[in-house]
Amino acid sequence: MVLTVDIGNSNIVVGEWEDEKLKFVSRIETDKTMTEDSYTVRLKNILELYGVQYEKIEGSIVSSVVPQVTGSVVNALERLIGKKPLIVGPGIKTGLNIRIDDPAELGSDLCADAVGALAKYPKPIIIFDMGTATTISVIDAKGCLLGGAIIPGVRTSLDALSQNASLLPHIGLEAPRDLIGRNTIDCMKSGAVFGTAALIDGMAQRIEERLGQKATIVATGGNSSYIIPYCKSKIIYDANLLLEGLINIYRKNVTK
């Protein structure tokens, strides 16, 4: 049994793997003010909720894009299971051929996404990870991670719009009744959902033109399920891609 933990800007996602099967996925809010003790209690509650037996946990692996939280979560895991977690970062084996200017700059979340995608999808691959930011990772036909793009996430953009435009309300993320909105809220929803879908389609098309061939397009991240149904491109929605990448990285670094 292995725990995979992804620390994102908005949420910490915990997954438990047993016999190469993902048994559960749980989320808690990322909070930079929480102490190690607080994270220990929150993680303990999750494990007990799903009936996890600590003695059966062989190890854990963590990816994080929030350095202020990483230490607290890592120490909490070690306290709970008695073993130091692996941390995705420099020196860990991933099997990736990274072609960006400085491979050390590659976020651990993007690294895990790429490892997960390479394990299950035909190359080349375009990965959209839609969270606080929408990140794009491009893997060529040889399996090399070429780089990508970073775009403000759809909820981040919506929140910024509401905060900076006095007459615009805070709204939920769902599609309006019609592409052409007839009131302020529907106009905002149209821009957020259909506008983001058009962005995804447009970037995918431009990247395929840059690669000179069609690619497998994969979407993951907390906001993907709201947007991908409205894209015109053929896109595979893979909710647990990052966790699958983490378990693959764990297996590359730990031998039974």
Same-domain pairing of 52 and 104: no
**Measured between alpha carbons, how far is 161 from 130 in angstroms, rounded to an integer?**
18
Look at residue 79 and tell me if it is in a domain: yes
Q: Is 176 exposed, middle or buried (0-12, 13-18, 19+ CB in 10 A)?
A: buried
Same-domain pairing of 31 and 131: no
Residue 256 pLDDT level (bands cut at 50, 70, 90): low
184 labelled ligand-binding: yes
pTM as predicted: 0.94
Look at residue 255 and tell me if it is in a domain: no
**End-of-domain residue from the set 87, 105, 134:** 87
Question: Pick the catalytic residue: 19, 37, 102, 109?
Answer: 109
Give the count of domains, the chain: 2
Same-domain pairing of 75 and 141: no
Look at residue 250 and tell me if it is in a domain: no
Same-domain pairing of 116 and 51: no
Segments forming the whole domain that contains residue 110: 97-244
Same-domain pairing of 110 and 44: no
Q: Are strands 133-139 and 144-152 parallel, antiparallel or unpaired?
A: antiparallel
Cα separations (Å) of 188 from 90, 175, 229, 238? Answer: 41, 10, 18, 27
Q: Are strands 59-64 and 125-130 parallel, antiparallel or unpaired?
A: unpaired
The question of whether 178 is a catalytic residue gets the answer no
**Measured between alpha carbons, how far is 136 from 130 in angstroms, rounded to an integer?**
9
Q: What is the pLDDT of residue 29?
A: 95
Residue 89 has, within 13 A of its CA and on its CB side, a CA count of: 12
Residue 255 scores a pLDDT above 80: no
Q: What is the pLDDT of residues 79-121, one digit of tens each?
A: 999 999 999 998 899 999 999 999 989 999 999 999 999 999 9
Look at residue 253 and tell me if it is in a domain: no
Same-domain pairing of 16 and 79: yes
Same-domain pairing of 43 and 107: no
Angle, CA 233 vertex, CA 247 and CA 103 arms, to 5°: 40
Look at residue 254 and tell me if it is in a domain: no
41 labelled ligand-binding: no
Name the average pLDDT for the chain.
Answer: 96
Same-domain pairing of 80 and 182: no
Residue 1 scores a pLDDT above 70: yes
Q: Residue range 41-70: average pLDDT? A: 95
**End-of-domain residue from the set 61, 87, 113:** 87
Same-domain pairing of 55 and 139: no
Look at residue 8 and tell me if it is in a domain: yes
Query: Considering only CA atoms, which of 63, 75, 114, 64 is closest in space to residue 241?
Result: 114
Q: Residue range 127-140: average pLDDT? A: 97
Same-domain pairing of 217 and 132: yes
Same-domain pairing of 149 and 183: yes
Output Rg (C-alpha) for the chain, integer angstroms.
19
**End-of-domain residue from the set 87, 105, 138:** 87
Residue 243 pLDDT level (bands cut at 50, 70, 90): very high
Look at residue 236 and tell me if it is in a domain: yes
Query: Considering only CA atoms, which of 154, 151, 128 is closest in space to residue 139?
Result: 128
129 labelled ligand-binding: yes
Same-domain pairing of 83 and 123: no
8 labelled ligand-binding: yes
Secondary structure letter of residue 238 according to DSSP: -
Look at residue 24 and tell me if it is in a domain: yes
- Higher pLDDT: 245 or 91? It is 245
Contacts of 51 (CB under 8 A, 6+ apart): none
CATH of the domain at 15: 3.30.420.40
Residue 155 pLDDT level (bands cut at 50, 70, 90): very high
CA 54, chain centre distance (Å) = 26
